[in-house]
Amino acid sequence: MPLREFILSQLRSVGINGKVAGREIKIRCPLGKHHDNSPSFQIRTDGSMVHCFGCDFGGNWNDLAEILHLERLSHDGYRTALKAKLEYMSDTEPPGNRFDVEPRGLWQGEWRGIREETLACIPSHIWFDDFGHRRILWPVTIYGRQAGWTAGWVDKGTEPKYLTLLEEGKIPFPFDLVHRICLEFGKEKLVLVEGQYDALRLIDINVPALAILGIEEKKDNENEYVIAGNIMSLIISLCTACNIKSIMSCFDRDAPGLRGTSYFGHTLKDSYKFLFRFPPENRKEGKGDVGNAPLEWLASIAKWYWQ
């Protein structure tokens, strides 16, 4: 059963009717702490995140399932679904148990408005998953060595969830291309974003933007969210290699984006000039996300980069 159906049926079993909107399932806050006519409680359709805008409860499906006495998603359940969707794979994956991916040729044409030339630089591949969906697939290389793949949907307009198929947990994308652009332009500046599409939108207008592929990960049996350590060490190694002096974070205007900005700022501010910008608020979703940010906003990032 796809994760979305699993979650909806679990909710139905306790009389909650979830309304699907894109990647979110919206329900009235089930925690009983406040009135909620909005509804304010959102559950990612893959269970990776739940959040109430009313009482600020946050976590993942299993946190909510525990409170409502519903079925949890097992690690295996997650993995199966994530494999099917080519989504984030946690670094708890045991070695030697990695997914095989066979790209079916190079991608030709644009993707969600990203120019063909930009996609060819990475380079982009096409792949059909087990369900016959087309994916756009990118090798993630670090100093010439391929560390895995990351992917996006081709036929659906939704933003892909982040990682995929990597040997070493999360690593920034597209590391080698950004490295090359930084050396070539010599501007001593770097932009950090969350997702592949965010990075590609900026690279498309000649701004080297590195996607950290998700702000947070939840470690098993811990309630603490952390940034994967290899992300930070790779960013610092790239900055050293390219003489980067200023780093600007452009994360989404939501709770993880705010926490990520604070974390990166705190960690980098002593060694770099650290700046941050959030995309303008999006009335429809009540937040601002880089993937949907208007071109003028992207242009303002480019202006900072080139000045």
Contact pattern for Zn ion over residues 28 through 57, marking x by CB under 5 A: -x----------------------x-xx--
> Which lies closer to Zn ion via its Cβ, residue 52 or residue 165?
52
> Which lies closer to Zn ion via its Cβ, residue 18 or residue 169?
18
> Which lies closer to Zn ion via its Cβ, residue 29 or residue 203?
29
Provide the minimum distance between the beta carbon of 36 and Zn ion in the complex, in angstroms, as a whole number.
6
Q: Which residues contact 216 (CB under 8 A, 6 or more apart)?
A: 225, 226, 227, 256, 259, 260
Provide the minimum distance between the beta carbon of 67 and Zn ion in the complex, in angstroms, as a whole number.
11
> Which lies closer to Zn ion via its Cβ, residue 64 or residue 147?
64
Provide the minimum distance between the beta carbon of 113 and Zn ion in the complex, in angstroms, as a whole number.
36
> Which lies closer to Zn ion via its Cβ, residue 49 or residue 248?
49
> Which lies closer to Zn ion via its Cβ, residue 29 or residue 140?
29
Which is nearest to 174 in space by CA: 204, 133, 130?
A: 204
Output the CA–CA distances (angstroms, integers) from residue 286 to 36, 252, 283, in the order listed: 16, 11, 5
Binding-residue total with Zn ion (CB under 5 A):
4
Contact pattern for Zn ion over residues 135 through 174, marking x by CB under 5 A: ----------------------------------------
- Which residues from 279-298 bind Zn ion, rule CB under 5 A? none
With both helix axes pointing from N to C terminus, report the angle between 295-306 and 196-203 in degrees, rounded to the nearest 10. Answer: 60
> Which lies closer to Zn ion via its Cβ, residue 52 or residue 203?
52
255 forms part of the interface with Zn ion (CB under 5 A): no
Q: What's the CA gap between 305 and 307, in Å, rounded? A: 6
What is the contact surface with Zn ion in residues (CB under 5 A)?
29, 52, 54-55
